[in-house]
A and B are shown apart, each in its own frame.
Chain A
Amino acid sequence: AQSVTQPDIHITVSEGASLELRCNYSYGATPYLFWYVQSPGQGLQLLLKYFSGDTLVQGIKGFEAEFKRSQSSFNLRKPSVHWSDAAEYFCAVGESDTGRRALTFGSGTRLQVQP
């Protein structure tokens, strides 16, 4: 079964600084990969996704992520963080070579933005 690891439980960055959130997965084939963001008490909003093709994908709110097959990673980046980016970020994988539709999520990284 696939698994997702987000090694950083909590990250604090200053407003305007760059950001990188780490995601590593375990899966036999190339999975479908997603990043979602969740504000307190809210549902999940899709930031970006990777299915195939160009390994650098652009998302909403200025986020991007890069799929690195050799490292089984899909790290999320943003060049300049805004205070409104403070939230919890989840990486998720879906199975690309079975009929299963369930997503497997990491345990999340909470981002705090300092003024």
Chain B
Amino acid sequence: DTGVSQDPRHKITKRGQNVTFRCDPISEHNRLYWYRQTLGQGPEFLTYFQNEAQLEKSRLLSDRFSAERPKGSFSTLEIQRTEQGDSAMYLCASSAGSETQYFGPGTRLLVL
């Protein structure tokens, strides 16, 4: 059990560029979650997958955000036309049929 991994750990981009983050959940965890955390705040839920199906999406997930989990294993989160307000830590978590979510180290995004 290697834990949840995320790549990259840090990303600096210019406003208007597209970015993509990857999350690899704990092996055999069928549920995967994305959260966003801004400075001084707790994480805020973005979206949730059970296997390859995206079952929940937050109102925070604007149309510039898209998440996929094509084979029910790893997931990607893409942000199109980034804005300075997108600067945050993007956290991925996974769970195995229980309510306990295990978090990865996060991807810190800075939009200049």
Contacts and interface: CB of A to CB of B under 8 A. Distances in A.
Nearest to B49: A101
Interface of B: 4, 6, 31, 33, 35, 40-45, 48, 55-56, 58, 91, 93, 95, 99-106, 108
B31 A42 contact: no
Given A101-B33, A101-B56, A41 B45 contact: no
A32 interface: yes
A interface, over-half SS: strand
A105 to B, nearest CB: 3
A34 B5 CA distance: 21
Given A44-B91, A101-B31, A102-B48, A92 B42 contact: yes
Say which size band chain A's interface belongs to.
20 to 34
Interface in A69-109: 90, 92, 94, 100-108
Contacts of A102: 33, 45, 48, 56, 58
Contacts of A49: 99-100
B103 A44 contact: yes
18 contacts: A4-B42, A43-B6, A43-B106, A45-B103, A46-B100, A90-B42, A94-B99, A101-B33, A101-B55, A101-B95, A102-B33, A102-B58, A103-B35, A103-B43, A103-B45, A103-B101, A104-B45, A108-B41
